[in-house]
Amino acid sequence: MVALAAGAGSAAAQWKQTSGFNALNAFLDGVGVPDGSGVLAGQVEALEGGYKYLPHAAGAGTGTNFTGKVITDVTGVGGDVSGHSRVVGYNFFGNVRSICTGLVDAHCWSAGDFIDNVLKVDNGQVAEFAPDVGNFSWAIASDLDPVFDGTDICRRLDHLINQSGFIAMVGTTNDTTAALPEAMVPCYNVISVGRSTGVHAAGFTPLTRDGPGRIKPEIVVEHDLTSWSTAAASSMAAALHSAAPAAAQRSEVMKAIIMAGATKEEVASWDKTASRPLDDVYGAGLMNVFHSYRILVAGNQAPGVVPRRGWDLLSLGSLGSATYTFTIDPSAEEGEFSLMATWNRTLTYADPPGPRPGAYNPDLLPNVDLQFHDGATIIQESSSPVDNVEHIYFPSLPPGTYTLTVNTDLPAEVGIAWRTELKQSPRVTRPSVLAATIGLDDLVTGAEYDIERSLTIPYSWSQRDTVTAPGAFMDWTDPSPPAGGKAYYRLNYGTP
């Protein structure tokens, strides 16, 4: 059964605040905030009340949320607007509810048309899928007939992601007592999405699917319903895509960037084990576009000594390994550390002779493991025998130098992403209302800081200088101190 992932719900949740968009906007002072410009959205919708699947009538958008948008009905049968699809569109690329005000073009399909003419179930090889980010706020709840063979649909969707290179956001259902959906959610190469309350189907992929025992969903977002959580996740993914270089747009790399940016403290009792890399309800945690953006702009970092944030597309051969070295600066009290490794499964198409349709057969999945060392001691491992993600996470890691070893048994293309959040902020410690020199303490060596000044209360801050910390402490002299009156100073991080 093809089912909408929504159900019934109330007013929209304040996801922009809890998922870090407001913090990102403040961090960038509202300038150059990624807004989905240049990204092509793909929205695939289950039918609702007849042949309704569009978020807005095809053509130029109107109204508060869709003015300036262009809706293309790829299914092309004159479908009507559905209420479910409209709200998904609001949260994915709308002008008010989403963060993708710069995203213009959205291509739309009905779920049945997508299954028949893009995945081409029982009809040869998959077609191309043009969008950069695809939103699937629906699920296939059971195998009613061959056209809804969940295993075949998952295999075809995984191959389509590899072939077309898009990010697929897939919603789970809103029922905590239900089993995971039969198709879409169990795919390896998607990012499945739940709610930060934990009110959604979650847990281990079923025995009837490839790779039983894998954790779903991968991420959660605060919203009323999983359909809207998924659309909000798609909006954040599209914003990140618009700011990403080509290598970071790869689905396995962007998946790692999104999941490494997730926060844990907002969800109840998050945990993992060495063999279970994600929480069995909340996945990697609450999606946070601010953290993921800072990982993204820190840039591609090759194995070796790396900065506090970054990402890599790691190509490993058979029995290959790579090592990354991280440092928590001694001037910090401690640091939260989050690292994610993700890789896609690949499939090979087999077209048998005769009238039987061809099929996609999964290749052997690489078994990628992570070991995190303090000196010669392994202090955390992530070694799932079935998942295609691995996760290292420390809520607090003492200052020091650490190494991560990535190992694989088979050749693999692995997206790696990480972040370290220092728990001690820089401080102005010796402010003076008369002298032109102030002291700056608890700095991170080599980091850049913006020094801002206000001459009034209420404060009106203006930037005075950008400095690079030579060590944990330094003095700074205002080049043009005010004559007579008081001055107030503060520090902000410049370059992360």
Render pLDDT for 39-83 as a digit per residue (tens, 0 to 9): 999 999 999 888 899 999 999 999 999 999 999 999 998 889 999
Domain 427-493 has CATH 2.60.40: yes
Give the single-character DSSP code of 122. Answer: T
Contact 106, 93 (CB under 8 A): yes
Kindly tell me the sign of the dihedral angle through the C-alpha atoms of 454, 458, 460, 463: positive
| Average pLDDT score over residue span 458-466 | 82
The burial of 169, by beta-carbon neighbours within 10 Å (0-12 exposed, 13-18 middle, 19 or more buried), is given as buried
Cross-strand bridge partners of residue 397: 335
| Average pLDDT score over residue span 231-257 | 98
User: Percent helix, strand and coil across the chain, each rounded to 5?
Assistant: 20, 30, 50
Rg (Cα) of the chain, in Å, rounded? 24
Count of CB atoms situated within 10 Å of the CB of 285: 24
Distance, in Å, from the CA atom of 15 to the CA atom of 224, rounded to the nearest integer, reads 10
**Which of the listed ranges 129-143, 318-332, 340-354, 405-419 does the model predict with the highest average pLDDT?**
405-419
pLDDT of residue 331: 74
Q: Where are the domains of the chain?
A: 2-297, 311-422, 427-493
- Provide DSSP, 304-342: EE--SSEEEEEEE-TT-EEEEEEEE-TTSS-EEEEEEEE
pLDDT of residue 177: 87
Band (146; pLDDT cuts 50, 70, 90): very low
Contact 417, 339 (CB under 8 A): yes
- Arithmetic mean of pLDDT over the chain: 90
Give, for 66, the enclosing helix (H) or strand (E). helix 63-66
Over residues 346-396, the pLDDT tens digits come to 999 998 876 677 899 999 999 999 999 999 999 999 999 999 999 999 999
Give the domain 311-422 fold.
Answer: Jelly Rolls (2.60.120)
Distance, in Å, from the CA atom of 442 to the CA atom of 71, rounded to the nearest integer, reads 51
Over residues 200-235, the pLDDT tens digits come to 999 999 888 899 999 999 999 999 999 999 999 999
Map 11-27 to HEC letters: CCCCHHHHCCHHHHHHH
| Proportion of the chain above pLDDT 90, given as a percent | 69
CA angle 242, 29, 243 (to 5 degrees): 10
Phi/psi at 148 (nearest 5 deg)? -110, 35
pTM (2 d.p.): 0.85
Q: Name the architecture of domain 2-297.
A: 3-Layer(aba) Sandwich (3.40)
Nearest alpha carbon to residue 73 among 101, 118, 43: 43
Work out whether strand 41-45 and strand 133-136 pair parallel, antiparallel, or are unpaired.
Answer: parallel
Band (10; pLDDT cuts 50, 70, 90): very low
pLDDT of residue 237: 98
Cross-strand bridge partners of residue 372: 380, 404
Whether the pLDDT of residue 184 is over 50: the answer is: yes
Give, for 82, the enclosing helix (H) or strand (E). none
